[in-house]
């Protein structure tokens, strides 16, 4: 298959982080993710805090912020927290970034206008890249000025920790091509994936960037069960509630739902389209989440491991 296929999943709650991290690593996932909000509809974590706890109880699994709300952080502080986490985890940090904005009250609470989230993110990514790879950085921007600033210690990973950009729109793809090492969309079909891979490559080429090492990911909701119909109903019911719309007719397009063989075949379509990283999120009843992860780990992921 060429590039090794990596699989990730995220904490389901901000509680019992240490036990969850050990469990996910033991299942054999390559990457552990954590989302964040300052304030949201329900309980949420801060990725840097929770992943730091995870770093102390794991040894191999990579730790990815999924997704850091970049415009809510001063750029230099974001760079420091990322560098510190990379050092604490001995070089396992991956910075997943997004612009947020779906919950305006948290932007207001942080004193950040929602309309500035894109430009703030672009400037922050420029600053973070420089601080992670160079010393004595001087920079004058719209939102931040740096005068001979260095990160001490620097991140362990060289030239810097990987950056992945999330999103589905062209502006996110252009941001990924300019600043990042990977791109992570969600609610995507294999056909959309193939089209976007070509688009991002073109954006990168227009910037004069070597895109040969750039990676394409997929964030996908999952429900895996030995009975195909049961899995599909789980995903349809959960996503219909979560997104307040009927998913019964579109669950096959946007979710990985079915028996293991069906899910393997569907994943191969995404991989053929260019994906080399699959981040799974459970779309099933709460009392089935652990079993769903175990079925993915034991019945789906092995099909993509080299023998």
CATH of the domain at 306: 3.20.20.30
Instruction: Assess whether 7 and 112 both reside in one domain.
Output: yes
The answer to whether residue 291 sits within a structural domain is yes
Same domain, 243 and 157: no
Q: What does DSSP say about strands 145-149 and 137-140: parallel, antiparallel, or unpaired?
A: antiparallel
> Where residue 3 falls among pLDDT bands split at 50, 70, 90?
confident
Per the structure, how many domains does the chain have? 2
Three-class SS string for 137-150? EEEECCCCEEEEEC
pLDDT reading at 65 higher than 50: yes
What does pLDDT average to over the chain? 96
* Whether residues 136 and 282 fall in one domain: no
- What is the extent of the structural domain holding 55? 1-166
Choose one of 166, 182, 212: the last residue of a domain. 166
pLDDT in tens, 219-252: 999 999 999 999 999 999 999 998 899 999 999 9
Q: What pLDDT sits at residue 2? A: 63
Residue 173 contacts residue 199 (beta carbons within 8 Å): yes
Whether 52 and 155 share a structural domain? yes
| Statement to judge: residues 156 and 217 lie in one domain | no
Picking from 146, 166, 186, the residue at the C-terminal end of a domain is 166
- Whose structure tokens read 């904490």? 11
Please state whether the predicted TM-score (pTM) of the whole model is above 0.85.
yes
Which of 166, 182, 209 terminates a domain? The answer is 166
Q: What is the pLDDT of residue 1?
A: 46
In a domain, 49, yes or no: yes
Q: Using a pLDDT cut of 70, give the percent of the chain over it.
A: 99
Give tens-digit pLDDT for 82-141: 999 999 999 999 999 999 999 999 999 999 999 999 999 999 999 999 999 999 999 999
The answer to whether residue 73 sits within a structural domain is yes
């Amino acid at each position: 298959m060429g590039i090794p296929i990596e699989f990730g999943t995220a904490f389901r709650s901000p509680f019992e982080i240490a036990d969850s991290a050990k469990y996910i690593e033991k299942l054999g996932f390559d990457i552990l993710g954590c989302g964040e909000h300052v304030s949201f509809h329900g309980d949420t974590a801060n990725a840097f805090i929770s992943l730091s706890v995870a770093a102390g109880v794991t040894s191999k699994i990579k730790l990815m912020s999924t997704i850091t709300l970049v415009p809510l952080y001063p750029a230099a502080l974001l760079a420091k927290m990322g560098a510190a986490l990379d050092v604490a985890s001995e070089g396992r940090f991956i910075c997943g970034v997004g612009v947020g904005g779906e919950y305006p009250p948290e932007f207001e609470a942080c004193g950040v206008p929602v309309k500035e989230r894109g430009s703030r993110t672009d400037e922050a990514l420029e600053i973070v890249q420089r601080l992670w790879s160079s010393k004595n950085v001087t920079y004058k921007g719209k939102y931040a000025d740096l005068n001979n600033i260095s990160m001490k210690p620097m991140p362990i990973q060289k030239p810097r920790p990987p950056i992945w950009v999330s999103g589905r729109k062209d502006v996110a793809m252009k941001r990924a091509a300019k600043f990042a090492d990977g791109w992570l969309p969600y609610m995507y079909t294999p056909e959309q994936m193939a089209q976007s891979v070509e688009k991002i490559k073109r954006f990168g080429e227009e910037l004069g960037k070597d895109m040969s090492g750039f990676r394409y990911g997929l964030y996908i909701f999952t429900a895996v069960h030995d009975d195909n119909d049961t899995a599909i109903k789980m995903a349809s019911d959960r996503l219909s509630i979560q997104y307040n719309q009927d998913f019964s007719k579109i669950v096959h397009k946007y979710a990985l739902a079915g028996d293991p063989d069906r899910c393997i075949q569907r994943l191969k379509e995404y991989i053929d389209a260019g994906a080399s990283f699959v981040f799974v999120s459970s779309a099933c009843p709460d009392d089935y989440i652990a079993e769903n992860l175990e079925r993915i780990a034991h019945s789906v992921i092995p099909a993509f491991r080299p023998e």
